[in-house]
Structure 1
Amino acid sequence: MALTLFVCIVLLMVLGVPVAFALAISSAVAIFVGGKYPQLVVFKEMFTGIDSFPLMAVPFFIFAAELMSGGALTHVLLRFAAQFVGHLRGGLGYANVGSSMLFSGISGSALADAAGPGAMMVKMMQKAGYDRPYAAALSANAAIMGPIIPPSISMIIYALQDENVSVGGLFIAGFIPGLLIAAALCVVNWYVSKKRDYRSTDARPSGREMLVNTIKALPALGLVVLIIVGIRFGIFTPTEASVVAVVYAFVCGKWVYRTLRWDAIPALTSRSALLTASVLLVMAASQPFAWILTVEGIPQYLSELIISWELSPIMFLIAVNVLLLLFGIFMEPLPGIMILVPILAPIANALGIDPIQFAMVVVVNLTLGMITPPVGGLLFVTCVATKTTLSELNKELPLFLLAQFVVLMLLTFIPALSTWLPHALGF
């Protein structure tokens, strides 16, 4: 069955079949060819794949992000980030990174970051004299922080695949990698702005203006604090935190910022439902795929094989990075996590690699695939949102990809960057 499974999934992916359908069809074909189990197993496992209490957090976090976006949160965060650096050389580039970092703490999605604050910043940067392809490339790379800085949909899905980590622990662990990515992008922006002489014409805002902008941004920034503090001190579970986030986002948009209209809620709900359905469909379809791998003993076989090679933990992580970088070019992070984590996580655990460090390496690595040509989904979304051609965008990517790769290597060789904060907070 395993051979049939892999042949089918490769063929279907090459033919461009959507990931969820490719996973389900290949599982059904493998079971049919194997002849040992009834086809009912596919439907049973698909139901099992989404019959999970922690998974309920996904639609609520998505809806909370939509409500905050509909409540003019993006404009508030842009003003807050720009006031500190907008007057510097390359200042709007720094503001782009800063606003994406702040919005990441609400959306949990790279695509949402690119289509929201990223697209707005590109327009502002172009008006200020920045090259549009450069601004678009910076926005696409900054959006990578979406699935890394909590709350993160990718980390919720990861925790469901590996029982050695918790959603709360992964949320906390994402802070330092997210900040490292932001710092790396700022270094690239400093270099390019100096080389191309991207100067700012904006005057530094007065202390009063900065105070007003900061006060206005505090309710939006409070959502991240509420989620992390609530989870850390056991006030609510990550799933309950997602519901609290929806209520908080609604109150902020409707009565704090007073920009969320009643007639906008149906459209926001519809977008949230469509995105949730796509995530859950992939989640459900991946379950029979993983079940076949398990009953065929593939994870156990690979674990024993790799352990027999006597690789050091570092060599294993390097090999995993190569695999994931290649894998991420052709597949989105969520199905990548659901297919590969059940195979790789037990091996990493057997080699003594901290589960949280391994989770960070996997999530960051697969997320980078979204900005890696030729298939990177973020690149296409950014091109559409910013009216930039893919060829123009690709010319600006090498420095950014180098910076992202440096961060990935730091996470690989320095475990404390991923593990120190969650361990210090008791996760």
Structure 2
Amino acid sequence: MAEILFPALFILLALGLPVAFAMAISVFAALSLASSYPNIVVVKEMFSGLDSFPLLAVPFFILAAEIMTAGAVTLAVLRLAQALVGHHKGGLGHANVVSSAMFAGISGSALADAAGPGSMMIRMMERGGYDRAYAGALTIASSVVGPIIPPSITMIIYAMQDQQVSVGSLFMAGVLPGVLITVLVLVANARVSRIRGYASGAPMPPLAEIGRIAVHALPALLLIVLIVGGIRFGIFTPTEASVIAVFYALFVGMFVYRSIKLRDLPETILRAALIAGAVLLILGAARAFAWILIIEGIPQFLAETIIAWDLSPVVFLLAVNVLLLAFGLFMDPLPGVMILVPILAPISLALGIDPDHFAIIVIVNLTIGLTTPPVGSLIFVVSSAVKLRPSTLIGEMPPFFIALATALLLITFVPVLSTWLPAVSGF
């Protein structure tokens, strides 16, 4: 069946079909043309992939993010980012990067970062004299931290595929790598800003003003503390944390920022349902796709082959980086996690690689895939926002590809970046 499954998938992706439909149709084609299994098996496997209590966290975190991204909350985060770094050379670009890092602690999604505060920052940067294509490329790069700084939908899915890690430990493991990526993208923006003369005309605000803006933004930023702290101290499970996040978001939006009215909730819930439906459809199709691979014995064959090569951990991690970066050219992170983690995680464990460390390597790799053609979702989201061709945005990406590649190498070969916080926090 594999001889039909993979060609069908690549052809459908090349034709521009959404990933979920491409995977589901390729599975149907493989079953129909090369097996005696009935097609109803695909539906069964898709349902089995979604019949999970921990997976309930995904739609609830999406709903919490939709509630928290109401205008007043987003503006509070943007104003704080601009107050902290907006006065430096390339200040509006720095504010774009810092706001993405802050917003990552609210949304857990790279696409939400780009579509929410990212699109607002692009308009601000263009009015401030930045080239529109550069502002879009910077937004693409800065949004990478969305699934890495907790809470993260991708980490929830990863923990379901690898029993050696927990959602809480992955949340803690992602903090320092997320900060590292943010710093390196800031460095890249500073260098480009010096070359192109992107100066900030805004003076540094008085400390009292920065403090006032920080206090105003604090309720939004406390969401990450509530989620991670509650999980760490055993107050609630990750799934329960997602529900609590919804109620906290409602409280903040309705009573603190007063940006949400009861009449707005049906539309907000509908948007969250559409996003969650798309995500869950991808996960269900990925489960059916992975089932074909398992019954064909492909994961076992690959695992035995790699183990027979007797690779050192360093060479194995280099090979994994190349594989995942190539895989990310054609596949989004969520199906990538569901297909590849059951194959690669046991091998990394056998080689003595820390499970949290390996998980962050996988997640960062696949998230970087969102910035690379031909299927990079961030490119198309931002392209739509700035009304530019994807190729124009890609032309501005090389400085940020260098920053992201540097971050990936440091995360890969400096394990303490991923393992220190889970260890000191007791995970």
Partner of 2:299: 299
Deviation at 1:317, TM superposition (A): 1.1
Partner of 2:226: 226
TM value normalised by structure 2: 0.96
Partner of 1:390: 390
Alpha-carbon distance between aligned partners in 2 of 1:34 and 1:46, rounded to the nearest angstrom: 20
Could you tell me which amino acid in structure 2 is paired with residue 346 of structure 1? P
Alpha-carbon distance between aligned partners in 1 of 2:390 and 2:38, rounded to the nearest angstrom: 46
Alpha-carbon distance between aligned partners in 2 of 1:251 and 1:220, rounded to the nearest angstrom: 11
Could you tell me which amino acid in structure 1 is paired with residue 343 of structure 2? I
SS in 2 for 1:75: helix
**Per the alignment, do residues 207 and 414 of structure 1 end up closer, same or farther by CA in structure 2, a change over 3 Å counting?**
closer
Structure 2 regions of 5+ residues with no counterpart? none
Say whether the 8 Å CA contact 1:70–1:268 is kept in structure 2.
Answer: no
SS in 2 for 1:103: helix
TM value normalised by structure 1: 0.96
Alpha-carbon distance between aligned partners in 1 of 2:14 and 2:207, rounded to the nearest angstrom: 57
SS in 1 for 2:69: helix
Partner of 1:138: 138
Say whether the 8 Å CA contact 1:254–1:260 is kept in structure 2.
Answer: yes
Alpha-carbon distance between aligned partners in 1 of 2:135 and 2:40, rounded to the nearest angstrom: 50
Deviation at 1:71, TM superposition (A): 5.3
Alpha-carbon distance between aligned partners in 1 of 2:245 and 2:51, rounded to the nearest angstrom: 22
Partner of 2:20: 20
108-117 or 339-348, larger mean C-alpha shift: 339-348
Partner of 2:181: 181
Alpha-carbon distance between aligned partners in 2 of 1:62 and 1:214, rounded to the nearest angstrom: 25
Partner of 1:404: 404
Partner of 1:65: 65
SS in 2 for 1:72: helix
Partner of 2:379: 379
Alpha-carbon distance between aligned partners in 1 of 2:186 and 2:421, rounded to the nearest angstrom: 23
Alpha-carbon distance between aligned partners in 1 of 2:274 and 2:388, rounded to the nearest angstrom: 26
Alpha-carbon distance between aligned partners in 1 of 2:86 and 2:11, rounded to the nearest angstrom: 49
1:24-65 CA deviation, whole Å, 9 max, x = no partner? 222233334454533332222111100001100000110001
95-104 or 331-340, larger mean C-alpha shift: 331-340
Alpha-carbon distance between aligned partners in 1 of 2:35 and 2:89, rounded to the nearest angstrom: 66
Q: Summarize the alignment of residues 115-130 of structure 1 with structure 2, pairs less than 5 Å apart.
A: 115-130=115-130
Structure 1 regions of 5+ residues with no counterpart? none
Partner of 2:236: 236
SS in 1 for 2:164: coil
212-221 or 127-136, larger mean C-alpha shift: 127-136
Q: Do structure 1's residue 315 and structure 2's residue 312 form an aligned pair?
A: no
101-110 or 124-133, larger mean C-alpha shift: 124-133
1:377-401 CA deviation, whole Å, 9 max, x = no partner? 1111112112333233222110100
Say whether the 8 Å CA contact 1:370–1:376 is kept in structure 2.
Answer: yes
Partner of 1:108: 108
Deviation at 1:353, TM superposition (A): 1.6
Alpha-carbon distance between aligned partners in 1 of 2:214 and 2:397, rounded to the nearest angstrom: 33
328-337 or 399-408, larger mean C-alpha shift: 328-337
SS in 1 for 2:28: helix
Alpha-carbon distance between aligned partners in 1 of 2:376 and 2:302, rounded to the nearest angstrom: 28
333-342 or 400-409, larger mean C-alpha shift: 333-342
Partner of 1:48: 48
Deviation at 1:326, TM superposition (A): 1.3
Say whether the 8 Å CA contact 1:28–1:42 is kept in structure 2.
Answer: yes
Partner of 2:417: 417
SS in 2 for 1:89: coil
**Per the alignment, do residues 178 and 110 of structure 1 end up closer, same or farther by CA in structure 2, a change over 3 Å counting?**
same
Percent identity between the aligned chains? 58
Deviation at 1:323, TM superposition (A): 1.2
Deviation at 1:160, TM superposition (A): 1.3
Could you tell me which amino acid in structure 2 is paired with residue 361 of structure 1? I
Aligned length: 427
Partner of 1:247: 247
SS in 2 for 1:55: helix
SS in 1 for 2:329: helix
Alpha-carbon distance between aligned partners in 1 of 2:293 and 2:134, rounded to the nearest angstrom: 43
